[in-house]
Structure 1
């Protein structure tokens, strides 16, 4: 049997794995053992499964494959940020990032190869979407970054953000499965409260997510609260206008009781006026929220330039005066193109 004929073993549930062993004359608990090796212990090969007999390992190797990711290239920034070029089993590449601070380390993980959306300011959008990542491919990014956090910063990974390559809500099923495994006792057992899913705003999928009453956090990549301006920088906004997004966010808050974080970049000559600030303040009144103003990271597009410090100060002061929680985020990893909006497989 060739590798392409073999079944991806991590696509099986625990029950399916147990049933497979029983149907082949083995005890059901063998499925439990293999499942633990695949998820909790992160086995890359069947030979790693040392509590199985050689015959059982050979049998598994004959019929199944473990499509494990590989960190093909790792770059370390002067500020301690790490960017990984992650090679997938089919030769495609995505990128993930480890962001350290004095008190925690955060994994920024990808959910798609390329992206389904077309944000003008984002390098990933130039790649277009090639395919969705499987749950195990997302999970593996987190495991790899946790290992790097322990090795280079002497602490386990504390937080995860779905802010890497891709629109998570356009790969809904696989992203949710990966989070279930990351937070489950049969996986990494991380607290869902330490996970943030960031979306550019897909109203139907925000409502679908809300119906599941997740315990993790939601962030919206907003950047303008004026439809005409948002369409220019995020053209898909024409299909998903702000009124629809507001409606979805109200639904989210009604179902979950969890405030949303708005991610917001201020660009010179695009959204740096008092009109833009006032529109954002009105948008923030829809549901309880906080705003992260993010430093822009160039992708060699002359249309987008970091706004003047005075514009950032104007936003911060106005939001604080309106009693809206606001943080100004300074980018990390810029020297290795690991900052927000810069992930584009330059290392591949």
Structure 2
């Protein structure tokens, strides 16, 4: 059970200031504590060493400071690192560090499990336990950044919300987490280096436009007609491709932010030149920057297979011939179930505590 005592990270600076004034403490103490829980990333009151012992005890009496802990870490042969994080109420959620020559990307989760039941995704076969709070999402980024510094002597350069769960079904927490991640008194990251990926919730894509968000958006398309998309992504029955095209255009009109399509190739399902033509048609209706063609990572629960290299090459060449900006994204971390669609809190040999 989560504690009913207030979480200190859920207080604004103004609310913290009021608390200290009621204690008869100086106002600047509030700023000190706010810095500890956000920019200094303290995970306990004891860590707040410029506060008196008495004041730390008072904080511990009135508040909790729950934080994610790293339960296990797995290292892929290709340099990818997958972490399983444990919440204060004993749920597990996974995040991944993906290093390349030019960037270090954190793939973070927004929910514990998922309710969308996409047929090709391991997380889709799990129940959704609950949404992650914004401070828990923040912790994922903090802990993955610490790994990046420890293993690669670099800082995170990018964040993608492509882990477990549907970010737009945890809208407020995702936006608040990004606000803290990008705030000067948080992690200070540029919103242009953050991409939120959605399976396609048209209403909430439009809401992103209304809220004038500054981060990038990726749509997990994976099939370019409604019949096929309904088959693999049940959400399409209430958010069809036409509705998504309209929502994406609205989002772009309101924000001007980068839009990417994600398209996993499945053998004998969506990998023909006719499928490519349908994808081209959608691409031309939206001011999208890029189509990421993704290598499929088989999972035990699903029947899908990846196409052979010749089929992939023909598909990519067809897109290029029609001037579609497409990139083939090879999977990373397959050997530790850290690749796209594989996150499911699955035990894997070789995990380290």
> Which interval holds the TM-score relative to the shorter structure?
over 0.9
Aligned residues of 1:21 and 1:30 also touching (Cα < 8 A): yes
TM-score by length of 1: 0.97
SS of 2:231's partner is: helix
Is residue 274 from structure 1 mapped to residue 273 from structure 2 by the alignment? yes
In the alignment, which residue of structure 2 is the partner of 1:175? 174
* Aligned 1:252-267 pairs, distance under 5 A: 252-267=251-266
Is residue 283 from structure 1 mapped to residue 273 from structure 2 by the alignment? no
Whole-Å Cα distance in 2 between the matches of residues 109 and 20 of structure 1? 33
In the alignment, which residue of structure 1 is the partner of 2:146? 147
Whole-Å Cα distance in 1 between the matches of residues 338 and 302 of structure 2? 20
Whole-Å Cα distance in 1 between the matches of residues 4 and 100 of structure 2? 45
Deviation at 1:134, TM superposition (A): 0.4
Gaps of 5+ in 1: none
Deviation at 1:180, TM superposition (A): 0.3
Whole-Å Cα distance in 2 between the matches of residues 212 and 322 of structure 1? 34
**Cα deviation digits, residues 110-155 of structure 1 (max 9, x gap):** 0000012110000001112110000000000000111110111111
Aligned residues of 1:217 and 1:258 also touching (Cα < 8 A): yes
Whole-Å Cα distance in 1 between the matches of residues 143 and 123 of structure 2? 21
Whole-Å Cα distance in 1 between the matches of residues 322 and 181 of structure 2? 37
Q: Which runs of 4+ in 1 moved over 4 A?
A: none
Whole-Å Cα distance in 1 between the matches of residues 31 and 285 of structure 2? 47
Aligned residues of 1:200 and 1:221 also touching (Cα < 8 A): yes
* Aligned 1:167-206 pairs, distance under 5 A: 167-206=166-205
Aligned residues of 1:259 and 1:287 also touching (Cα < 8 A): no
Provide closer, same or farther for how the CA distance between residues 3 and 52 of structure 1 changes in structure 2, counting only shifts above 3 A. farther
Provide closer, same or farther for how the CA distance between residues 23 and 315 of structure 1 changes in structure 2, counting only shifts above 3 A. same
SS of 2:332's partner is: coil
Whole-Å Cα distance in 1 between the matches of residues 319 and 106 of structure 2? 28
Provide closer, same or farther for how the CA distance between residues 63 and 302 of structure 1 changes in structure 2, counting only shifts above 3 A. closer
In the alignment, which residue of structure 1 is the partner of 2:324? 324
Aligned residues of 1:116 and 1:170 also touching (Cα < 8 A): no
TM-score by length of 2: 0.96
Whole-Å Cα distance in 2 between the matches of residues 239 and 228 of structure 1? 13
Q: What's the C-alpha RMSD, in Å, of the aligned pairs?
A: 1.3
Deviation at 1:29, TM superposition (A): 1.3
Whole-Å Cα distance in 1 between the matches of residues 248 and 148 of structure 2? 34
Tell me how many residue pairs correspond in the alignment.
347
Aligned residues of 1:82 and 1:98 also touching (Cα < 8 A): yes
In the alignment, which residue of structure 2 is the partner of 1:45? 44
Provide closer, same or farther for how the CA distance between residues 32 and 302 of structure 1 changes in structure 2, counting only shifts above 3 A. closer
In the alignment, which residue of structure 2 is the partner of 1:85? 84
**Cα deviation digits, residues 74-112 of structure 1 (max 9, x gap):** 000011100000000100000000000112110000000
Aligned residues of 2:249 and 2:287 also touching (Cα < 8 A): no
In the alignment, which residue of structure 2 is the partner of 1:233? 232
Provide closer, same or farther for how the CA distance between residues 251 and 58 of structure 1 changes in structure 2, counting only shifts above 3 A. same
Whole-Å Cα distance in 2 between the matches of residues 184 and 236 of structure 1? 33
* Aligned 1:127-138 pairs, distance under 5 A: 127-138=126-137
SS of 1:57's partner is: helix
Whole-Å Cα distance in 2 between the matches of residues 323 and 186 of structure 1? 43
Aligned residues of 2:2 and 2:89 also touching (Cα < 8 A): no
Deviation at 1:259, TM superposition (A): 3.5
